[in-house]
Structure 1
Amino acid sequence: MLDKFDLNILSALQKNGRLSNKELAESIGLSTAPCWRRLKHLEDEGYIKGYTAELNAKKVHLNVIAFAQVSMDNHHTETLTPFLSIVNDCPEIQECHSVSGDCDFMLKIITRDLDSYDELLSKKLLQAKGVRSVNTMFSMKQPKISREFPLSTLLITEHS
Structure 2
Amino acid sequence: MITLDAIDRRILERLQHDGRLSNADLAEQVGLSSSPCWRRVKALEEAGVIKGYAAQLDAKSIGLSVNVFMSVSLSTQVEKALKDFERAAAERPEVMECYLMTGDSDYLLRIVVPDLEAYERFVMDFTKIAGIAQIRSSFALRPVKQGTALPLGVSRDR
Scaled to the shorter chain, the TM-score interval is over 0.9
Does the residue aligned with 1:59 lie in a helix, a strand or coil? helix
Does the residue aligned with 1:110 lie in a helix, a strand or coil? strand
Q: Which amino acid aligns with 1:15?
A: H
Q: Counterpart in 2 of 1:52? A: 54
Q: Which amino acid aligns with 1:41?
A: A
2:79 counterpart of 1:77 = yes
Superposition pairs for residues 6-155 of structure 1, below 5 Å? 6-124=8-126, 126-154=127-155
Aligned length: 156
Q: Tell me how far 1:49 sits from its aligned partner.
A: 0.6
Q: Tell me how far 1:77 sits from its aligned partner.
A: 3.1
After TM superposition, the structure 1 stretch with the greater mean CA deviation from structure 2, 32-41 or 74-83, is 74-83
TM-score where L is the length of structure 1 = 0.93
Counterpart CA distance in 1 for 2:122 and 2:17 is 33
Residue deviations 1:14-50, cap 9 Å, x none?
Answer: 0000000011011111111111110010011111111
> 4+ residue runs of structure 1 moved beyond 4 angstroms?
none
- For the aligned residue pairs, the C-alpha RMSD in angstroms reads 1.4
Does the residue aligned with 1:91 lie in a helix, a strand or coil? coil
Q: Which runs of 5+ in 1 are unaligned?
A: none
Does the residue aligned with 1:106 lie in a helix, a strand or coil? strand
Q: Counterpart in 2 of 1:3? A: 5
TM-score where L is the length of structure 2 = 0.94
Seq. identity, %: 38
